Amino acid sequence: MAWALVFSGQGGQHPGMLPWLGEDALTRSVDARLGVADWRASLSDADWGARNAHAQCLLTGLALAAWSQLAPLLPPPAAIAGYSVGELAAFSAAGVFDATTALDLAQARAAAMDRCAAQAPGGLLGLSQCAPAVLERLLTDSTLAIAIRNGIDSVVLGGPPTALARAETAAVAAGAHATLLRVAVASHTPAMQPAAAAFAERLASLPLARPHTPLFSNAADRVASTEQARHALAAQIATTVRWDECMDNLQARGVGRVLEIGAGQALARLWNQRHPGVPARAADEFRSVEAIAAWLMRT
């Protein structure tokens, strides 16, 4: 059965994530890069885990460690995509660069975004059950932008903390569900343009390979060349993550199942809401790699 592989973004990291993940060279590399003895123990401090510099490296490395331990049990996926920072793991899984490069890029990406945030503090506000007319009213505040689009009534806004607080109050009053995310950066908004430019410079001289698996981007649809890969990875830092379109692109490949690798089950839930005829599950739900493989291979 054809299946799609998706990699989570940040926000759902927790000490018990990926309970089946064994220690290997990649997990040890994550510990070393973050200067900790045990990433699970470190995640017991929620503030530590929420820091951009920790989360981006951690999630990229653990996702790729999980994939390397799972891949030998499975046929290749029919398509791959990643959500926000999850694109680094997705591009690596598709063969654009190796895991070490992915970790280097995760640290560079986080540092560039943190430099932007130091100059212009920001954050993210998740909205669901938000009518289009309500969203339109919220966006009359020019300091806010749509950072992530998950569906017609499910988006994430980015902007300055004061503007997000006003938007939260107004959205709840209009009947929407609003949640301030544990992120101190207005990711995927024009405020991150200097970070996108810095990351583009980093990518410009980096040797990349063409994807060996159909790969879909948050910012540029299908990625089939090294130049498209460079553009997509930099552009998504400062432009809207179009996850609704990513899901539709994957579904159009005729996949029969979708596996999310990362922290939590957010992408699996979004998929099941949008494409209920094609089941999705998160690797975080399972207790062993064998159980994941058995589910994916079930006819």
Q: Which residues of the chain are in CATH 3.30.70.250 domains?
A: 122-180
Q: Are strands 221-223 and 215-217 parallel, antiparallel or unpaired?
A: antiparallel
Token couple for 141: 């505040």
Give phi and psi for 105, each to the nearest 5.
Answer: -70, -35
Q: According to the model, what pLDDT value does residue 270 have? A: 96
For the segment(s) 3-118+189-297, the CATH number from 3.40.366.10, 3.40.50.10890, 3.90.1010.10, 3.40.190.10 is 3.40.366.10
Tens digit of each residue's pLDDT (9 = 90 or more) over 55-110: 999 999 999 999 999 999 999 999 999 999 999 999 999 999 999 999 999 999 99
Terminal-residue alpha carbon distance, the chain: 7
Q: What is the pTM of this model?
A: 0.96
Do 245 and 218 meet the contact criterion of CB atoms below 8 Å apart?
A: no
CA-angle at 63, arms to 60 and 69, nearest 5°: 140
Is residue 140 packed enough to be buried (19+ CB in 10 Å), middle (13-18) or exposed (0-12)? exposed
The angle that helices 99-119 and 25-34 make with each other, rounded to 10 degrees, is 30
Q: State mean pLDDT over 36-64.
A: 96
Domain with CATH 3.40.366.10 in the chain: 3-118+189-297
Instruction: With residue 33 as reference, give the H or E element that holds it.
Output: helix 25-34
Is the pLDDT at 195 greater than 70, yes or no?
Answer: yes
Task: Look up the CATH superfamily of 122-180.
Answer: Malonyl-CoA ACP transacylase, ACP-binding (3.30.70.250)
